Amino acid sequence: MSVEFDCCSFFKAVADANRVKIMLLLARGEMSVSAICKHFKMKQPSISHHLGVLKSAKVVECRKEGKEVFYRLNQCCVSSRCSDFMQRFAEKTGKGAAGD
């Protein structure tokens, strides 16, 4: 029933080119915020903002080590959300499923 809203927080998170770029960086392994910053023209608070959006959507996770925070991709989240979504729109053979 609230499936649409649930998937939307994920899709909103990945519907930004800069956030996708962050995700692509993290797909190779965890990185600290400052390391991520080096790949962008944006200022650090903007990066932190994007990381916050990704984290709220469970797309990334983080751990603290000393003064640094290392972010990593939650690959399971990405694939489960995508495959869930795909399935929801798979061709039905006759019987409907979702209600109004």
Rule CB under 8 A: say whether 8 interacts with its own copies.
Answer: yes
Strand, coil or helix: 45: helix
Q: Figure out which of the listed residues 23, 53, 59, 60 binds DNA, where binding follows CB under 7 A.
A: 53
Name the minimum Å distance from CB 94 to its own copies. 10
Phi-psi label, residue 58: left if phi above 0, alpha if psi -120 to 50, beta otherwise: left
Given DNA, its own copies, none, residue 49, with its beta carbon under 5 to 8 Å by kind, binds DNA
Size of site (CB under 8 A) for its own copies = 34
Q: C-alpha angle 92/100/1, rounded to 5°?
A: 85
